[in-house]
Amino acid sequence: MKSQEYAVVDIETTGGNAGGSRITEIAIIIHDGLNVIERFETLVNPQKEIPVPIFALTGIDNEMVSNAPVFEDVAERVYELLNDRIFVAHNVNFDYSFVKHQLEEAGYKWTARKLCTVRAARKIKPGLYSYSLGNLCHSLDILLVNRHRAGGDADATALLLSRLLLWDTEGEIMKMIKKTSYDQRLPPNLPPEDFEELPEKPGVYYFYNQAKKVVYVGKAVNLRKRVASHFSGHKTSRQRQNFLRDIYSISYETCATELMALLLECTEIKKLWPVYNTALKRFEPKYRLYSYEARNGFRYLAIGKLGKYQDSIEVFHSQYDGITFLRNIAAQLEIDHRFCKYGRQDHDGLPVIEQQDLPDIEEHNMKIDEAIASVSKNRLSFAIIDKGRTEDERSCIWIENGQFYGMGYIPSDVAIADIEEVKDYINQYPCNQYIMQLLYSFAEKYPGKVVYKKTQ
């Protein structure tokens, strides 16, 4: 390997993600730690239109690149310059993802150790107002000309690298470029200490953006390993690259078990509604079973769309599930099918044509009450008792009348005579159907950890 040489790279592109955008200009400066020893710069024909906002930023338009080489024509030269050198860039993952992606398309298998000058500057010159290339050059009195062009930004980044190497009395850069260093994987704006503080325990973690707003919530069996997995690989999607750039800090809360982490993750997503969480946002019931009384005095059971603040006997994710449930309960209790509604219906009662041979109204309404009671009857109260975060406690999840009530921790030296006493140690959380599915599945799988409330 060459004696510690750096390839300082800057690119201009048609957009923000390597998977759907292309390089329009690339500059590579070879630096030996003291001086620039070689320089390469070229426009690149992206073989696609350059958007107007990109032209406004860089000044590169379709006409300028029309006679430029396509990336495949310069790929061999780019590979030769980068091979066996440390890849350096300001916000390195952005440039690295584009170059790696287009080298692979040209048939070159290439990886490199990386050095992010954003991260290096944060370590070596902490406390500055901003670490964008323009503001950093202004703060450190580094000449920056031809801004937002590959050559101008690469020249400034090379000067920045020279200064950082000179100021690096603690050997931070050497630590950062080791293959085992977390700096090879961590997002550019994330302080390494945030990651280093993560324990290898179950829990929930939070990613924050520059404005200190939560942008993602996740759960983990092992917090450190799970968070690290977000930063591994080289996916080129726009969402992933925006996601990594948005991470400025991490916090976490440990939990005793994976189940508690799941429950906390679910409630936190519902409360905080982070921009990069999508899966649990879609998990909402859309239909409900409800009862109403028509003007003729007969009680009805109906399946309908679930609206906000509407009372429900039961809720369902699909209309099919609701209809199946209502048909089964009607068959069990021999409820007249004319009083079961499976879609949007007026609540005025039966059409005239159906008002024959009606059941006794009092007996019928008692069956409706029985049906409602049978649903509620299955809503048991119970606790899930499991290991704690330490040997000095036990974890507890409380379900009251079929609804998630909350969770908490009980000191190991506390004796519980009545299982309802666990509520004294519980923090309340909101409930939803997804949470209840998790809890009932767990209770079925681990019956030895479940303690039911005694019925009177």
| Catalytic residue annotation | 148
Cα–Cα distance for residue pair 442/450, rounded to 1 Å: 9
Among the listed residues 294, 318, 298, the one whose alpha carbon sits nearest the alpha carbon of residue 306: 318
Check if the beta carbon of residue 440 is closer than 8 Å to that of residue 419: no
CB atoms within 10 A of CB 314: 22
Q: Which two tokens stand for residue 194?
A: 């945030």
Among the listed residues 182, 244, 259, 251, the one whose alpha carbon sits nearest the alpha carbon of residue 217: 251
Helix (H) or strand (E) holding 12, with range, is strand 6-13
Please name the residue that has the structure tokens 């992010």: 116
Cα–Cα distance for residue pair 319/299, rounded to 1 Å: 21
Secondary structure (3-state) at 202: coil
Q: Angle 150-167/117-124 helices, nearest 10 degrees?
A: 30
End-to-end CA distance of the chain: 79
- The beta strand positions in 221-353, using DSSP E, are 249-254, 287-293, 299-305, 314-316, 340-341
Query: Per residue in 394-424, is it b (16+ CB within 10 Å) or e — as a string?
Result: bbbbbbbebebbbbbbbeeeeebeebeebbe
